[in-house]
Structure 1
Amino acid sequence: MKDQLTPRKMLNLKQVLEIVPFSRSTVYREMEEGRFPKAREIAPRRIAWYEDELTAWQLALEGG
């Protein structure tokens, strides 16, 4: 288990779109429908995703 004091890497939308083959609208739709990790509001008008949650989502797609 990760150390509680080790920061988790956060990704902005551009970085997420470089990882997953989705359009911006698909990311938001899948997130709204609960099939994609939720973004966190980190500042007014700024959101980010935790990289480890995206990795877990990818592994779940593979059944692993």
Structure 2
Amino acid sequence: MTDQPAPRKMLNLKQILAIVPFSRSTIYREMEEGRFPKAREIAPRRIAWYEDDVSAWQAGLDRR
């Protein structure tokens, strides 16, 4: 038996918009400018964000 880490939870755009008070276009602009975690392409025309990346971004806001 191997101790494998739990899979990282992924969030789609609808879930991100429910968490972060940004519009869709603001999410994409902030990603391009490096101020929001980059989405990963998980399939053709399908992207997702790792939940822990978004949580770390939120925690970083508190440290500013």
Taking structure 2 as the reference length, the TM-score comes to: 0.91
1: distance between equivalents of 2:40 and 2:59?
A: 21
Taking structure 1 as the reference length, the TM-score comes to: 0.91
Query: Percent identity, aligned pairs only?
Result: 79
1: distance between equivalents of 2:32 and 2:56?
A: 18
The residue correspondences of 1:15-26 to structure 2 (distance < 5 A) are 15-26=15-26
Question: Alpha carbon RMSD of aligned pairs, Å?
Answer: 1.5
Task: Point out where structure 2 has 5 or more consecutive residues left out of the alignment.
Answer: none
Name which one, 1 or 2, has greater alpha-carbon Rg: 2
Name the SS for the 2:36 alignment partner. Answer: coil
Structure 1 segments, 4+ long, off by >2 Å, are none
Q: How many residues align?
A: 62
